Amino acid sequence: MRNVTALHFAYSAVITGGGAKWITVQDCISMEPVSVRAGGRRFTFKLNGQLSLVQRCLSYKGRHSFTGESATSSGNVFFDCKAINPYSTSEPHGYWVNGILYDNVQAPLTARYWDFIMGWAGANTVFWNCVGDYLIQSPPTAANYSFGHIGINAVSFNAGLQDLTKPNGHVESMDKHVTPRSLYLTQLKERLGEQAVKNAIGSNDY
C-alpha cells in the first residue's frame, strides 16, 4: 500500500490482521480523524500480524499512531514515521506484542507496564534513533531497548496507568543519535544487499 491519504478515519487508516505477513505500507498520511478521543479510537497505523513494514508515514492527531495490539504482532518495523499533534503514545499496546522496531520515528513512545488493565504490553521492543518523550520498561523474561533516543525519559499520557516501580529498559546514548542511522536499513543491506536498500528508499542515505 502506498501514496494513500486517509481523511476523517475514526479508527485506523491501516490495520493488519493476525494472519497477515509481509505487508509494506509507505508514504501514507492520516489526517483529521473524527471521533471522541477515547479508548478504541485512532490507532492510526496498526500492525497485528507479522514481518510487516510501515515507512515514511504521517499521522495527524492520532492517539496510538504507530502500534500493534495482539499476541500475533511480531517482527514489525515502523521506519521514518512521524506523529504530529498526537493525543497519546505510539507503542506495543497490549497482549505481549513481540519484537517491534521503531526506527527514526518522531512520536512519544512507550514500551511499558499498564497498571490496572493490560499488564506488560510488549517484549523485545527497540527504539532506534527516535525523537520524542518516551518511557521504556522491561518485563520478566525479556527486555526492551532504547538507543540514541532524543527526548525526555518520561511521558505524561496515561500517567494514571503507569507503574514506575517496574524495571527500566536498557537505554544507551540518551539525547545523542547513534550510528548506523537506521538499524532496519543496515540489517536489510546485510541480508539482501545494497540494491534492496535502494529499492526501499531510492538512495544510499542511511
Strands of 17-68 (E only): list them. 24-26, 29-31, 45-47, 53-55, 58-60, 66-68
Identify the domain containing residue 104 by its residue range.
Answer: 5-201
Average pLDDT over residues 72-101: 97
- Per-residue confidence at 205, pLDDT binned at 50, 70, 90? low
Residue 125 lies in a domain: yes
pLDDT tens by residue, 129-143: 999 999 999 999 999
Residue 13 lies in a domain: yes
- Per-residue confidence at 203, pLDDT binned at 50, 70, 90? low
> What's the pLDDT at 4?
98
Structure letter (DSSP) for residue 169: -
- Per-residue confidence at 117, pLDDT binned at 50, 70, 90? confident
H helix runs in the chain, sequence order: 183-192, 194-201
pLDDT tens by residue, 169-178: 999 999 999 9
Residue 206 lies in a domain: no
Give the pTM. 0.96
Task: Report how far Cα 178 is from the mean position of its chain's Cα atoms.
Answer: 18
Q: How many domains does the chain have?
A: 1
